[in-house]
Amino acid sequence: MSNNNNEKYRNSALRRKYIVRFIGRCVVLLISVLLFIFRKDQFEVLDGWNFFKKFSIFHLLWAVWIVDMVFQVIPARKIIPIGSQKHLRAHFIRAKEKINKDALKSYIVSTTKSAYRVMLLWIALLAVISSMYYAGVLSKSHLLMISILFYVFDLICVLIWCPFRLMMGNKCCTTCRIFNWDHFMMFSPIVFMGGFFSLSLFIFSVAVLTVWEVCVFLYPERFWEKSNMALKCSECMDKLCTQYCQRLRKKHTDTPTEDK
């Protein structure tokens, strides 16, 4: 791939938007750290029903997170990438050739097994976090800071490097089986503290995750690039690819593979 093409992929409109969002999330993390050090009273919103008793800057963050999740269950193509919208009928472009149902089933089974391995790993991490919380090592403020750190790490996975891609074996975010697991993973640490702030976010994230997983099993053809043309590199309008992703994409393109 030429340098001109690399520049084209790095500077796509959606990628530029995501870079701005990444910077914004880093600012959120910085502000949260400063509040943690100098204004711990702002974290009182985490306690029980305090969400309705006293305004905190975290009310704004809560609203942003809720809106983010809403956009994962409604068509919002110009705002978020196809990787997060591929479960919706509006973004399904059926392949011209007949879909190989056996190959599709094999693909879904394989990627789902990989996805569940990621889930088991995440549950193990949550077990450590919850143990530290109930042991008094971590406070509610710490749990929120962990979620905010995950909030930043989410876009590091999209823009720079994603460890889950190694476990999943997918070539890019567009074809990622667990793309819309992000909010569930992000808010799972705060569920242990209880209270409206955390439980409302976690329950909403579970709803988004449920919609995604139901669609995987009801409409598997939407998640496979050989049955959904919208997921093919040749049709990609997002161009969120990192250089690593570009090399992997080129490998997939140059190396012919047969359906299993």
DSSP state of 99: P
The pLDDT value given to residue 236: 78
The pLDDT value given to residue 254: 45
Identity of the amino acid at 142: H
The pLDDT value given to residue 252: 47
The pLDDT value given to residue 27: 97
The pLDDT value given to residue 247: 53
Q: How far is CA 77 from CA 84, 90, 92, 157, 237, in A?
A: 9, 9, 12, 20, 10
* 125, two tokens: 């991490």
The C-alpha R_g of the chain, in whole angstroms, comes to: 20
DSSP state of 223: G
DSSP reduced 3-state for 94:
strand
Q: Which residues of the chain have pLDDT under 70?
A: 1-11, 77, 242-260
Decide: 244 and 161 in contact? Cβ < 8 Å: yes
DSSP reduced 3-state for 228:
strand
Q: How far apart are CA 85 and CA 164, in angstroms?
A: 19
Q: How far apart are CA 20 and CA 38, in angstroms?
A: 27
The pLDDT value given to residue 4: 47
* 195, two tokens: 């209270």
With tokens 């910077």, the residue in question is 23
Predicted TM-score (pTM) of this structure: 0.86
Decide: 209 and 180 in contact? Cβ < 8 Å: yes
The pLDDT value given to residue 251: 52
